Structure formats: structure tokens, C-alpha cells
């Protein structure tokens, strides 16, 4: 029997906030309209007016944002000449390509639209709970970068990788993408966002059936968002304090979702495809009785689209509690092949040594794949909070950023607009399976089904009877 409960951050922190209080922070009382424009499918179109709050102190949030996004948002959100309304952005601090500013909470939806319209990417900013947290982020960015390090793992498990990667199922991937994109939306602040989180939890619970050592938990984010992150943990056998994280965000968005619980945002590519990859690797690992040496955690992050809320909260907690995360892999958009390359590594705001390792995984286990690199800017996805806190993070992406799916953040981000069903996502599932095995298990090479009966670790949970 697996263990399914709420992630324990300590007795006080683990208590879930009352629903009304948690959701209240996303219901600003005073709203004024601002119109922004985004590109969807290559056509410029006006979006419905974004409800942007007036600026009493309680409605303002601190963010750190890429300087390019800040400049664009400052222009696009500014009040029209001679008219009231709009948002005036002020740069309170700046370091290289990152700016510290604040804006009304209700302007987050418009800011996300600008990031997508002007830069064809998600994220682009991190929302902070307080000025102190935002200043801490700026301090981290100013801290000297660590010298190149030697990774604590190597590519030495071809048999097991071949077994798991060889069984990746496009049908399973497509089933998960289809189910998640069937939700009206997975917007973090709406009931459908909580329902989809529960759906992911339940799916992972089912995959963990028969594994009493595996836990599936909600990670509560308090007033940041009513949507919980979901974490599945496979404990390590001999190196349990060393943690490998594979993650992707579960929420979806489009313009207007902030004020409309019924907005249509299927998010098939962004990022049901990433959650499908995680789910498929979980399925294969547990079906083969994998008992890794290092602890492995799969994370479906909440509220990525509104400032990386879920991943920032988790990475901050792990950093503050001294957790030793040795590698992080992000799966965000794996289903649309917009460029000739099969897998494209993000090489800014990521760890160069881990990037080289992931590139070697591709060359070793999928030698026919064409790979390349691209840039995505500050805080473009959930790898960023890990990276800025000194953890090694890598982010393989579906294409170059300028050729990624034109359908994201719209009602057209559907299964029908993926590349050949789940064929492209399958490449990332095979990569994630290789990453899991090669980061969580050290040589010499282990059998294809390591420690299945628990004999080598004295774990008797899989035995039918134990004699004294």
C-alpha cells in the first residue's frame, strides 16, 4: 500500500488554509480594464480587457522579471496619454538582465499575455510573497557563480535504460494529454485547477499501487495559490539524502482566465505534454520495480503560468531546509516539433555540466535524434527557481523558442495541434527515463529490474511471507 498524504513542512506549515482565505488573494476588489494584444497562430488579435487592479498596497505584488519583459510591459501596461487606468511599472532594482518591480495582482494575467505575445514564451517573471523575498532573489543573482563541478553520476546503466526507454508508449502519453486537456482549463485559481491537480494525484496513486515505500502527496502553497503541487517520491536505497527531481507544470492559461472560470484553456502542449512524460516514466519505473539508490521525486508544479508560484515555493523550502537536490530536469512543452531539431536544450539559466550530461544521454540512447540549443530568458519555466538557488537544473525543449508551438495560451492548444499525436513527446519520455536511471543509480551496472524483491536491501515489503 502506497502512502498518500499532504507534504509535511512541519506541523504548522502543513495545515491547509481555509479555502476562502486562500482564494481571496486572487479576488481583488477594485478593477479597471487594460487591453493587451497577443499573437495566436501568427495573427495579431485584441484580447478581452484584462482586469487590472487599482493599487492599494494590499493588491500589489513584488516580482522579478527579465529586463526585456519589463521594458515591454512598461510600455504596454502604461496608461494611454491623457487617460486614467493602466499600470505604471517602476524599476526598484536591476541586475544585469533582471529587474525588481511591483504591479497589481490582477495585472499578472496581462503580463503573462505580453510575455507570450512579444517573446513567444511562458514565464518570464517570478512572483514573490514579499519585498524581502524579492530582494533575496536579487541577492542570489548577484552572488558569485560556483566553479564548474564534477557530477556525482555517470552514464553506466545501458541495460536498464534500454528496458524502460524501449517500453515508452505513445498511446499512454496521448491518453494522459487527452485527459488533462479535457478540463475546461487548469487555471490555478479556479475549481478546475484544483480538480486537475486531484486527477494527477489520483493517477499517480494508481501507478504506485503495491509499492508501500512510494508516497504521493499534495504540496500546499498557502495564500500563493489554491492549486496544490503534486509530488511522488521513490525513496533511495543507499543514498536517500541525495534527491533527483523531474518536474513539469500542471496549470494552463489563456487571456481572460483570471476573471473567467469557464475560459477555454486546454493546454495540451503547455503543459499536459510534460505531465504525460512524467506519468509515463513513473509508470515504467514502478512497473519494473525500480528501487533507485538516490531518492527520486516527480513534481507536477502548481501555478507556473502566473509567476512560477509552485516551483518557487518548493525550491525555497528545499533550500531553507538544506535538502541535497543533485539534479533537476524540467519537462515543459514536449509535444510540438516546430523545428528540424528533435530535442533542444535551454542553455541559459541552466547548469552547463548537467546540460552536457543530458546531451550525452541523447547521443547515447537516442543517437538518431538531432539536438541543438536555444535561449529562453529569465524565469521562463520551473527550472529557474532551482537554478537561482544553486541546484543543477536542465530544461530540454520541443524546438527552438522561436519555432515552438504557436497555439499555447489559447483555446487551440489541443491534441489535434500536436505533432503526430504523442510521437514527439515520446522522445522526451525516453530521455526522462534515461535521466532517471543514470542520475539515480550509480555503477556497476545493475540488472534491468534492480532490487525487485528487496533482497539486496533487506526490504521485505514485496515478500508474501517473512519467517523469523
The residues that are catalytic are 249, 270, 304-305, 332, 409
Q: With contact defined as beta carbons under 8 Å apart, do 145 and 392 qualify?
A: no
Q: Give the three-class secondary structure for 327.
A: strand
Locate the DSSP E strands across 235-361.
Answer: 239-249, 294-301, 324-330, 343-346
Q: Give the three-class secondary structure for 300.
A: strand
CB half-sphere exposure, 371, CA atoms < 13 A: 24
DSSP 189: T
Alpha helices (runs of H) in 272-339, residue ranges in sequence order: 273-287, 309-320
DSSP 1: -
DSSP count for the chain of H helices, then E strands: 12, 18
- Going by C-alpha positions, the residue among 34, 25, 133 that lies closest to residue 89 is 34
User: Torsion angle, CA of 120/125/126/129, rounded to 10 degrees?
Assistant: -130
CA gap 160, 310 in Å, rounded: 32
- Going by C-alpha positions, the residue among 75, 124, 34 that lies closest to residue 349 is 124
User: How many residues are there in the chain?
Assistant: 468
Instruction: Report how far apart, in Å, the C-alpha atoms of 124 and of each of 175, 349, 379 are.
Output: 30, 12, 5
Q: Give the three-class secondary structure for 64.
A: strand
Q: With contact defined as beta carbons under 8 Å apart, do 107 and 77 qualify?
A: yes
Which residues, 6+ apart, have CB-to-CB distance to 343 below 8 Å? Answer: 362, 366, 369, 370, 371, 396, 397, 427, 428, 431
Burial of residue 251 (number of CB atoms within 10 Å: 0-12, 13-18, 19+)? buried
Q: Is 197 left (phi over 0), alpha (psi -120 to 50) or beta?
A: alpha
Q: With contact defined as beta carbons under 8 Å apart, do 330 and 123 qualify?
A: no
Locate the DSSP E strands across 73-211.
Answer: 93-95, 98-104, 125-128
* Cell representation of residue 3: 502512502
Amino acid at each position: 500500500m502506497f502512502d498518500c498524504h499532504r507534504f509535511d513542512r512541519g506541523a504548522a506549515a502543513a495545515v491547509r488554509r481555509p479555502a476562502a482565505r486562500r482564494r481571496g488573494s486572487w479576488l481583488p476588489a477594485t478593477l479597471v480594464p487594460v487591453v493587451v494584444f497577443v499573437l495566436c497562430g501568427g495573427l495579431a488579435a485584441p484580447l478581452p480587457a484584462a482586469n487590472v487592479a487599482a493599487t492599494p498596497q494590499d493588491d500589489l505584488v513584488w516580482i522579478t522579471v527579465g529586463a526585456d519583459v519589463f521594458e515591454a510591459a512598461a510600455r504596454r501596461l502604461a496608461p494611454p496619454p491623457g487617460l486614467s487606468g493602466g499600470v505604471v511599472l517602476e524599476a526598484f532594482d536591476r541586475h544585469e538582465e533582471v529587474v525588481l518591480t511591483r504591479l497589481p495582482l490582477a495585472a499578472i494575467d496581462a503580463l503573462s499575455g505580453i510575455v507570450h505575445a512579444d517573446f513567444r514564451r511562458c514565464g518570464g517573471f517570478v512572483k514573490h510573497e514579499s519585498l524581502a523575498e524579492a530582494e533575496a532573489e536579487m541577492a542570489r543573482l548577484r552572488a558569485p557563480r560556483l566553479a564548474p563541478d564534477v557530477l556525482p553520476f555517470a552514464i553506466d546503466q545501458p541495460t536498464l535504460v534500454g528496458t524502460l526507454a524501449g517500453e515508452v508508449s505513445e498511446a499512454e502519453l496521448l491518453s494522459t494529454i487527452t485527459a488533462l486537456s479535457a478540463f475546461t482549463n487548469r487555471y490555478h485559481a479556479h475549481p478546475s485547477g484544483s480538480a486537475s491537480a486531484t486527477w494527477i494525484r489520483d493517477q499517480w496513486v494508481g501507478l504506485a499501487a503495491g509499492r508501500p515505500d512510494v508516497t504521493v502527496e499534495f504540496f500546499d502553497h498557502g495564500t500563493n495559490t489554491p492549486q496544490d503541487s503534486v509530488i511522488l517520491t521513490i525513496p533511495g536505497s543507499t543514498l536517500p539524502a541525495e534527491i533527483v527531481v523531474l518536474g513539469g507544470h500542471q496549470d494552463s492559461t489563456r487571456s481572460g482566465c483570471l476573471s473567467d472560470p469557464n475560459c477555454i484553456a486546454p493546454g495540451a502542449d503547455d503543459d499536459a505534454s510534460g505531465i504525460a512524460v512524467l506519468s509515463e516514466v513513473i509508470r515504467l519505473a514502478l512497473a519494473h520495480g525500480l528501487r533507485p539508490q538516490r531518492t527520486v521525486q516527480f513534481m507536477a508544479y502548481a501555478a507556473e503560468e502566473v509567476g512560477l508560484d509552485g516551483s518557487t515555493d518548493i525550491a525555497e523550502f528545499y533550500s531553507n531546509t538544506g535538502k541535497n537536490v543533485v539534479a533537476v530536469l524540467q519537462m515543459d512543452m514536449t509535444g510540438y516539433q516546430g523545428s528540424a531539431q528533435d530535442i533542444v536544450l535551454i542553455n541559459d539559466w541552466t547548469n552547463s555540466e548537467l546540460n552536457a550530461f543530458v546531451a550525452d544521454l541523447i547521443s547515447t540512447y537516442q543517437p538518431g535524434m538531432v539536438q541543438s540549443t536555444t535561449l529562453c530568458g529569465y524565469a521562463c519555466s520551473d527550472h529557474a527557481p532551482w537554478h537561482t538557488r544553486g541546484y543543477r537544473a536542465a530544461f530540454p525543449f520541443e524546438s527552438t523558442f522561436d519555432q515552438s508551438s504557436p497555439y499555447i495560451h489559447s483555446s487551440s492548444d489541443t491534441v489535434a495541434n500536436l505533432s503526430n499525436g504523442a510521437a514527439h513527446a515520446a522522445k522526451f519520455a525516453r530521455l526522462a527515463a534515461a535521466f532517471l536511471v543514470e542520475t539515480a543509480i550509480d555503477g556497476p551496472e545493475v540488472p534491468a529490474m534492480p532490487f525487485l524483491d528487496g533482497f539486496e536491501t533487506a526490504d521485505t515489503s514485496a515478500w508474501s511471507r517473512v519467517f523469523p
